[in-house]
Amino acid sequence: MNTRTRLRAGVLLGSTLALVAALPGTAALASTGAPAAISAGRLVLEPTGNGYQGTLPVTITNRSRAADYYTILVTEPVAGSFDGLVPNGACIQAEPVDNRRVMACSVAGPDLAPGERRSLDVAFEVRTAPRPYAMSATGGRVEVVPGHTQQVAAGKDFSTLFRGTNGSLRNPRPYVQDTSANASLTAGTGALTLTRQANGTYAGRLPVTVRYAGDAPHDYLSVQATLPSGVEIAGTDPQDSPSFGGFFEVPGGRMAPGAERAFAVLFRASADTVVGELGTVDLVLSTRYGADELADVTPADNRVQVSLSASDDS
């Protein structure tokens, strides 16, 4: 990416941030004169190994007399389904509608000349078990915001169909998404010994497994650990994001219904740790959607306790 492109991306993202701060929810009122137009096709979600995927074709038109850049607002038809723009544009989240995210995305590329049209695709992914029959969802919408007005100029609702595994789109049934998570956490052992390392500190690995049932929308799963004095979480193996305090994310991101993920939680203790029983670590799993924690169907299986000890034996 050259300097001019980076500067342009920064301007677009800054404008998007200003737009989101100004909008009271999904949309400002359309400005008079309609300086831009937007059209959208039909979103067809195809069954895959992880649920359903599909793209929505969108075209925007500059109807003003001057070149301009644009932001589009995308209201997802299914909570947690938005998966980006093609070609890529910087996106941030605005105020949700009925738990469905509204994404404000800058349109990539140079300014549109007067009368110019530009086409792009909005990608969606719904992580739910594919069904043998077709399904439908409502509530999807796209809107266009010219850079010079920072107001919604035009909008278009779009329909969403899930293709059945039999290939049919006929006689769709309404898609009903779970609202509560159904995750669980288990540990490979109820007791873990931290052993002395070459540098004098103590370390150990706890194998755990996270399982996810249902299709409640989520961005990631996390674990909060309550630890004995002097013990800390060193990370996970594998690891996607840094851990801090007793908090860490389950590696691998979003999970499909019925999926399970095995990994190791890494513990460490300082060199002056006294050999023997250290206490109990308490691990609590939670499902996160944006800044919120989803209620779980069976919270009792989101928690495990493991006894920790330290030993000089390697």
Tokens 């086409």 belong to: 119
pLDDT, tens digit, 9 for 90 and up, residues 253-310: 999 999 999 999 999 999 999 999 999 999 999 999 988 999 999 999 999 999 999 9
Rounded to whole angstroms, the Cα distance separating 224 from 206 reads 15
What number is the average pLDDT over the span 4-18?
Answer: 41
Provide DSSP, 210-261: EEEES----SEEEEEEE--TTEEEEEEES-SS--BTTEEEPTTSS--TTEEE
Class of domain 3-174: mainly beta
Tokens 């140079």 belong to: 110
What number is the average pLDDT over the span 57-80?
Answer: 97
**pLDDT above 60 for 223:** yes
pLDDT, tens digit, 9 for 90 and up, residues 64-73: 999 999 999 9
Alpha-carbon distance values, 35 to 70, 128, 152, 215 (Å):
11, 39, 10, 40
For the ranges 16-25, 41-50, 190-199, 273-282, the lowest mean pLDDT is seen at 16-25
Tell me the pLDDT of the chain averaged across its residues: 90
For the ranges 28-42, 85-99, 169-183, the lowest mean pLDDT is seen at 28-42
Q: Count of alpha carbons within 13 Å of 171, Cβ hemisphere only?
A: 3
What number is the average pLDDT over the span 185-207?
Answer: 96
Quote the Cα angle for 262-292-213, to 5°.
40
pLDDT band at 20 (very low <50, low <70, confident <90, very high): low
Structurally, at CATH architecture level, domain 182-311 sits in: Sandwich (2.60)
**pLDDT above 80 for 46:** yes
Rounded to whole angstroms, the Cα distance separating 21 from 94 reads 8
For the ranges 28-32, 180-184, 233-237, the lowest mean pLDDT is seen at 28-32
Would you say 220 and 249 are in contact if contact means Cβ atoms under 8 Å apart? yes
What number is the average pLDDT over the span 29-57?
Answer: 88
Counting runs of H as helices and runs of E as strands, what totals does the chain give?
Answer: 1, 21
The pLDDT assigned to 291 comes to: 83
Percent of the chain topping pLDDT 90: 83
Would you say 58 and 157 are in contact if contact means Cβ atoms under 8 Å apart? no
Cis preceding linkage at 172, omega within 30: no
Long-range contacts formed by 127-130: CB under 8 A, 24+ apart: 127/50, 127/51, 127/80, 127/215, 127/254, 127/255, 127/256, 127/257, 128/51, 128/52, 128/175, 128/177, 128/215, 128/257, 129/51, 129/215, 129/257, 129/258, 130/47, 130/48, 130/51, 130/52, 130/164, 130/165
* DSSP 8-state secondary structure symbol assigned to residue 134: -
182-311 shares the fold of 3-174: yes
Rounded to whole angstroms, the Cα distance separating 20 from 276 reads 55
**Domain residues of the chain, as ranges?**
3-174, 182-311
Residue type, 256: A
